[in-house]
Structure formats: structure tokens, C-alpha cells
């Protein structure tokens, strides 16, 4: 039996690399993100690459127990629905927290690098991953408010591809962090 996770890891790396390049192209070049049909083609390429990367990662975690993937999916759906409902019903403007959340992500990245090169306990790792899930829940609230236009910062009507892209990335990131948290890897 062929083990796709271990034998074809380079396809996962290429798919992830292509997804990141396409994401940067769409976010940094507004003209490209607003030009039809190229924006649809780039979003389709991004979606296919992300789908492959997430499915390969899910298979890796499902080797231990398929319930880990199901628990992560249910948790992601619950968090997404709760954050979206809150973003649509609250009077608070979360879009002003975008730059503060970026600083927190930078600090988390630094902590992850430090934890990778030093010895760390799994409790600290689990705590860090749980905090990342919380942080990307905040990002989801900010992005929903930007799409709906209920905050200070808004996406224009022509930025529908960017809106889909940022929601997709937030939800997939929450799923992957929950997968890591429940999978213990």
C-alpha cells in the first residue's frame, strides 16, 4: 500500500508554495484581484492547492484516529458560526483590531520559533495552539465585519475575491490548529 503522506510529501510542499504565491498575488495586486476572469482562475488555483494541502494534512492526522478530523471539523464549524453570528450582531467595531492582531501573530511566531529550537512541554504547546485558535477567531470576526462593511475598515464591492480569500484562509487556519490541538502533534 502506498503511503501518500510520506511518499509524496513534495506535492504537498509544491501545493502549499503555489497557494501562498497566489494569495500574495491577489492580496498585493488589487487590479489583478478585480480583473475578471483571471481573479476567478487564481482563486480556483488557490482553492485546489489548499484543498490538496488540507486533505493531505487531514490524512496524516487520521492515520492515528479518523475522529480527530471529525472533531476538528465540528469545532471549526462551531467556531465559524459563533464568530460570524457575533460579527453580524455586535455593535462593537473589531476592524480596528487588525493591526493589534498582527502584532500578536508576530509575537506568536517568535514564540513558536523559540519553542522549536528549545525544549518545550506539550502543555505550553497546547496552550499556544489554543491561543492561536482564539486569535484566528478574532481575525474571523474582523474579516466578516470588513466584508459586511459594518466597521471602520471595509472591503469594496469589487473586492469579492479578496473577501472569499480571507474568509477561506481564516477558516482553514482554525481547522488546522484544531487538528494539531486534537491530534497532539
Q: Mind giving me the DSSP string for 65-118?
A: -HHHHHHHHHHHHHHHHHHHHHHHH--S--GGGHHHHHHHHHHHHHHHHHHHHS
User: For residue 12, what are the CA distances in angstroms to 46, 69, 168?
Assistant: 13, 18, 18
The confidence band for 51, taking pLDDT boundaries of 50, 70 and 90, is very high
The predicted model gives 43-53 an average pLDDT of 93
Percent of the chain with pLDDT over 70: 85
Domains: count for the chain: 1
Domain containing 158 equals 4-183
Q: pTM for this one?
A: 0.82
The confidence band for 45, taking pLDDT boundaries of 50, 70 and 90, is very high
Q: Please write the tens of the pLDDT for every residue from 54-81.
A: 998 888 888 878 889 999 999 999 999 9
Amino acid at each position: 500500500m502506498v503511503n501518500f503522506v510520506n511518499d509524496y510529501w513534495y506535492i504537498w510542499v509544491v501545493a502549499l508554495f503555489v497557494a501562498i504565491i497566489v494569495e500574495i498575488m491577489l492580496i498585493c495586486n488589487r487590479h489583478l484581484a478585480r480583473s475578471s476572469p483571471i481573479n476567478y482562475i487564481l482563486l480556483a488555483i488557490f482553492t485546489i492547492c489548499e484543498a490538496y494541502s488540507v486533505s493531505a494534512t487531514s490524512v496524516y492526522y487520521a492515520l492515528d484516529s479518523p475522529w480527530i478530523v471529525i472533531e476538528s471539523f465540528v469545532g471549526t464549524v462551531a467556531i465559524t458560526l459563533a464568530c460570524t453570528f457575533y460579527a453580524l450582531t455586535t455593535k462593537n467595531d473589531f476592524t480596528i483590531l487588525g493591526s493589534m492582531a498582527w502584532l500578536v501573530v508576530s509575537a506568536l511566531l517568535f514564540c513558536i520559533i523559540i519553542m522549536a529550537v528549545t525544549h518545550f512541554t506539550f502543555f505550553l504547546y497546547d496552550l499556544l495552539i489554543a491561543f492561536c485558535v482564539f486569535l484566528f477567531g478574532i481575525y474571523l470576526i474582523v474579516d466578516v465585519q470588513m466584508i459586511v462593511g459594518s466597521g471602520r475598515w471595509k472591503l469594496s464591492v469589487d473586492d469579492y475575491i479578496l473577501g472569499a480569500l480571507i474568509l477561506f484562509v481564516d477558516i482553514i487556519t482554525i481547522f488546522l490548529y484544531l487538528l494539531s490541538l486534537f491530534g497532539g502533534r
